[in-house]
Structure 1
Amino acid sequence: MRKYSSTEIELINIQIGCILRLARLRKGLSQLELGHQIDSNPTLIGRIERAEGKTSWEKIYMLCKQLDVNLCNLLEIKDRDSLISIVEEAMQFEDKLTQDKNKFYISLKGRILDLFKLMSKNQK
């Protein structure tokens, strides 16, 4: 059985958050609206989108259903450029790209690049 590294797990959590955030923004939903739709709260939505902590598969599944995201596609690690492209598209959908949000996105792209470098280094 293959053992997954903490780097891969962190990357998949970031990917889940990025894809779900982009899907939410494409639908024009706020975190509050989406939270209400799945009988949850905006804090949970934000934590998932920022890949903070652990989330139940039930909530991930409910978000996928609500946002028309294929769960299997969500869990297959994308390549570096595809994931960065998702982040950049999400930035374009932001109604109010505040300085803090811009910093978040820049930091997120940097973290993604760092994780891919680390994964590449560990695979050699």
Structure 2
Amino acid sequence: MTHYSDIELEIINISLGVTIKLKRLENNLSQLDLGNMSNTDNTIVGRIERSEHISSWLNIYKVSQELNIEYSSLFILKKEIEILKMIDNCLVIEKRLTKEKQSFYNSLKIRLQNLFIELKSVNEKPKNIEL
């Protein structure tokens, strides 16, 4: 079993939200549509997509099933470039791209890049060896 650090878990949470948002946009669905289809609601869908908090596994499962996303694939640590590409794809597909949404995507990219920088610095620190 893989043990993820808090930084890695935050990256996975962002990746999960972006994956769901991209798939929803590709299927031309609103958050309300997806909420109704998955027996959740648009507020839950929005919170998952924005990675605002850790969502319940049940809500993530319901939403992923409606979008035909393999549930377990959402919990794999993806590479930075892969997640950034998904964010860029969301920007391209987004039909109502307001300044607020543009700002959200830009801040999400910066947040993600900073997390990967932090992860790299943690992984490069020498480990104390106890004898």
TM-score by length of 1: 0.95
- Deviation of 1:4 (Å): 2.7
- Deviation of 1:51 (Å): 0.5
Partner of 1:46: 46
Distance in structure 2 (CA, Å) of the matches to 1:36 and 1:2: 34
In structure 2, list runs of 5 or more residues that go unmatched. 125-131
Distance in structure 2 (CA, Å) of the matches to 1:70 and 1:2: 18
Distance in structure 2 (CA, Å) of the matches to 1:13 and 1:65: 17
Partner of 1:100: 100
- Mark the structure with the bigger radius of gyration: 2
Cα RMSD (Å): 1.2
Amino acid at match of 1:113: Q
- Deviation of 1:20 (Å): 0.3
Distance in structure 1 (CA, Å) of the matches to 2:41 and 2:113: 30
- Deviation of 1:85 (Å): 0.0
In structure 1, list runs of 5 or more residues that go unmatched. none
Deviations 1:8-28 (CA, angstroms, capped at 9, x unpaired): 111111010000000000000
Partner of 2:63: 63
Amino acid at match of 1:72: S
In structure 2, relative to structure 1, the CA distance for the partners of 1:2 and 1:22 (3 Å cut) is closer
Between 1 and 2, higher relative CO (CA 8 Å, sep ≥ 6) is seen in 1
Alignment of 1:13-28 (within 5 A): 13-28=13-28
TM-score by length of 2: 0.90
Distance in structure 2 (CA, Å) of the matches to 1:81 and 1:116: 10
- Deviation of 1:123 (Å): 0.5
> Are the equivalent residues in 1 in contact too, given 2:39–2:62 (CA < 8 A)?
no
Distance in structure 2 (CA, Å) of the matches to 1:71 and 1:50: 18
Q: Describe the SS at the equivalent of 1:95.
A: coil
Q: Describe the SS at the equivalent of 2:29.
A: coil
Partner of 2:77: 77
> Are the equivalent residues in 1 in contact too, given 2:80–2:116 (CA < 8 A)?
yes
- Deviation of 1:72 (Å): 2.1
